[in-house]
Amino acid sequence: MSRSLTTLALVLLLGPQAGAKRAAPIAAGPRYVHHWTVTQRLESTPILGFARLDDRARRVIQKLIRSSSISTEVRASGGRVLLSLDRRHPAGPAELLLCEDLDQLVVLRPDRRQTHTLPLGRLPDVLDLHESSTRADFDIDDKQTGQEAAEAPTAPRIEHRWPWRTRTHDDTILYRYTPQPGRATSWPIRQPFTVTYLDQPRPFYAIFDQPLLHVALPLLQTPRGVLLLESLAWRTGTPLAWTTTVRNEGKPGGVPPTFHATVDDHGWVRGAPDQLVANRAGYHTVRALTGAGEGLQIVPPPSLAGLRQRPSTGKLSIENRARRAAWIYVDGFLVGWVGPRRQLAVQGLPDGHYRIYAVSPTGVRSWGPMDVYVPGPLTLR
């Protein structure tokens, strides 16, 4: 078969991106992109309610846990990944364009028609609303990476809803997280990672499905980290779900946050011509990213009334003195977020003791769990 016929066969099989160089379809505007929806929630078992709850209250909590989960739309093609954040995310409403071909992260704000370009390694800072203008720097311990990897039939620790047989892959990544290069402070991080995928032979074009792990492990957005993500994707195939735990070993004790994610694969869909283009028409470049505001209560006050058999006479007043945004979990479900050095008043919680847990969006910092009486104050340092 001639070279031209071989290229044509690949295009017919894989779609219009096959057979082209990585940067070529980006400049022309992709006609098709691979689309996923990733829904993520925090493992609530170790941080469930401080109070003894009856069956009715537990059903209310389970409903709130489901309704407060955060979803991210992921679209990828030609070495670029577009994350469309949930409108309730601290960094949203925004679109984050990971340009592996340019080693850049482009933050697009459709509501303001603004763009801001950063080094690729600054993705954790953007997600955490970190005030620093320095990039995150990583020193991955390659000798330890992958030594604990193993494949086995589906383990019960990952919940999934698929009727077909799946497999799991375990890995542990060790590295040091330095939020400000040049300073002595760095955090040793141990990140166990378990991915669930289909138990069937992977097609030879499975390498096109690598971008999902960028969502699962946002702390690894560096050139060496990208290679590690590609290696993980090549070993596991297209993820259906995953869990990841960020263990900050520089802060012993406490409960490390474990996140569960499920993936809905929408396949290759037609996208707008400028969907994965960094320089969108009509957008203007800004020199600095502005904050998303004080904070946001995700669960409306009326929905919180079923938690306790008591009236609500006050509010949970949260003061975040840290330099990162924080998700606020009450009795295991997400009630909202508060920006760095900002305040948030959560309304609608009936009076009583609650178990409060807070974590930055990337999981690199966490607070609690703490037993707090409402109405009352809570300070994050």
The domain spans of the chain are 31-285, 295-380
Helix (H) or strand (E) holding 224: helix 223-236
- Helix (H) / strand (E) element for 128: namely helix 123-128
Q: State how far the alpha carbon of 93 is from the alpha carbons of 55, 61, 74, 109, 267, in Å.
A: 36, 27, 14, 7, 24
| pLDDT, tens digit (0-9, with 9 covering 90-100), for 256-267 | 889 999 999 898
The pLDDT value recorded for residue 202 is 60
224: tokens are 């060496």
Report whether 358 contacts 326 (CB < 8 A): yes
- Mean of pLDDT over the chain: 79
d(Cα 348, Cα 351) in Å, to the nearest integer? 9
Mean pLDDT computed over 212-234: 85
The arithmetic mean of pLDDT across residues 333-351, rounded, is 93
What is the distance between the alpha carbons of residues 317 and 84, in angstroms, rounded to a whole number? 30
CATH class of this structure's domain 295-380: mainly beta
Distance CA 79, CA 25 (A): 10
Structure pTM? 0.83
The rounded percent of the chain whose pLDDT value lies above 90 is 29
Give the tens place of pLDDT for each residue, 77-129: 888 999 999 888 998 889 999 998 888 999 999 888 999 998 888 888 899 98
Please name the residues in contact with 294: beta carbons below 8 A apart, sequence gap of 6 or more: 338, 339, 342, 343, 344
Flag whether pLDDT at 205 surpasses 80. Answer: no
Burial letters 268-279, b for 16+ CB under 10 A, else e:
beebeeebbbbe
Q: Judging by beta carbons within 10 Å of its beta carbon (0-12, 13-18, 19+), is residue 47 exposed, middle or buried?
A: buried
Question: Strands 32-42 and 70-77: what pairing?
Answer: antiparallel
DSSP run (H or E) holding 114: strand 114-119
Nearest C-alpha neighbor of 169 from the set 225, 85, 239: 239
More confident residue, 348 or 29: 348
